[in-house]
Chains A and B, each alone.
Chain A
Amino acid sequence: MERSQIEAKLTDLLVDELGLERDDITMEAKFEEDLDVDSLGVVELLMALEDNFDVKIPDEEAEKITTVGEAADLVNQKLNG
Chain B
Amino acid sequence: MDRRRVVITGMGTVNPLAHSVDDFWEALLDGKSGAGPITLFDPEGLGTQIAAEVKDFDPEVYMPRKDSRRLDRSTMLFWAATKQAFDDADLAFEDGDPASLRAGVVCGTGIGGIGTTQQQMGVLAERGSSRVSPLAIPMIMSNQAAGAVSIDFHLGGPSTCTVTACAASANAIGDAAEIIRRGVTDVMVAGGMEGAVTAFAMGGFSSMKALSSRNDEPHRASRPFDKDRDGFLLGEGAGSLILESLEHATARGAKIYGEVSGYGMSADAYHITLPRPGGGGAARAMQGALDDARVASDTVDYINAHGTSTPANDVTETLAIKTVFGDAAYDIPVSSTKSMTGHMLGGAGAVEAVIALKSLAEGVVPPTINYTTPDPECDLDYVPNEAREAKVNSVLSNSFGFGGHNVSLLFTSV
* B55 within 8 A of partner (CB): no
User: How far is B131's CA from A21's CA once the two chains are assembled, in angstroms?
Assistant: 25
Q: Mark A8-22, 1 if CB is under 8 A from B, else 0.
A: 000000000011110
Q: Mark B134-146, 1 if CB is under 8 A from A, else 0.
A: 1100100000000
* B299 within 8 A of partner (CB): no
The answer to whether A44 touches B66 (Cβ under 8 A) is no
* A40 within 8 A of partner (CB): yes
The answer to whether B64 touches A19 (Cβ under 8 A) is yes
Closest to A24 in B: B66
> How many A residues touch the partner, as a band?
under 10
* B391 within 8 A of partner (CB): no
* B250 within 8 A of partner (CB): no
Closest to B66 in A: A19
The answer to whether B134 touches A40 (Cβ under 8 A) is yes
Which of B69, B133, B134, B138 has the most chain A CB atoms closer than 10 A to its own CB?
B134
The answer to whether A43 touches B64 (Cβ under 8 A) is no
Residues of B near A55 (CB, < 8 A) are none
Q: Which of A18, A40, A43, A47 is B66 in contact with, Cβ under 8 Å?
A: A18
Q: Which of A20, A36, A44 is B135 in contact with, Cβ under 8 Å?
A: A44
A-B CB pair tally, cutoff 8 Å: 22
Residues of B near A19 (CB, < 8 A) are 64-69
CB distance from A54 to the nearest CB of B (A): 14
User: How far is B274's CA from A35's CA once the two chains are assembled, in angstroms?
Assistant: 51
Closest to A47 in B: B131
The answer to whether A43 touches B69 (Cβ under 8 A) is no
User: How far is B135's CA from A20's CA once the two chains are assembled, in angstroms?
Assistant: 16
Residues of B near A40 (CB, < 8 A) are 70, 134-135, 138
The answer to whether A36 touches B66 (Cβ under 8 A) is yes
- CB-CB contacts below 8 Å: A19-76 with B: 19-21, 36, 40, 43-44, 47
User: How far is B66's CA from A19's CA once the two chains are assembled, in angstroms?
Assistant: 4
Residues of A near B66 (CB, < 8 A) are 18-21, 36
CB distance from B137 to the nearest CB of A (A): 10
Q: Which of A20, A21, A36, A44 is B134 in contact with, Cβ under 8 Å?
A: A44
User: How far is B66's CA from A44's CA once the two chains are assembled, in angstroms?
Assistant: 12
Closest to B131 in A: A47
Closest to B65 in A: A19
Which of A19, A21, A43 has the most chain B CB atoms closer than 10 A to its own CB?
A19
Residues of B near A36 (CB, < 8 A) are 66
The answer to whether A43 touches B65 (Cβ under 8 A) is no
CB distance from A18 to the nearest CB of B (A): 6
CB distance from A65 to the nearest CB of B (A): 15
- CB-CB contacts below 8 Å: B26-68 with A: 64-68
Which of B64, B66, B70 has the most chain A CB atoms closer than 10 A to its own CB?
B66
User: How far is B120's CA from A47's CA once the two chains are assembled, in angstroms?
Assistant: 14
Q: Which 7 A-B pairs have the closest CB atoms?
A: A19-B66, A19-B65, A43-B134, A40-B134, A19-B69, A44-B134, A20-B66
Can you show 19 pairs from A to B with CB atoms below 8 A apart? A18-B66, A18-B69, A19-B64, A19-B65, A19-B68, A19-B69, A20-B66, A21-B66, A36-B66, A40-B70, A40-B134, A40-B135, A40-B138, A44-B133, A44-B134, A44-B135, A47-B131, A47-B133, A47-B134
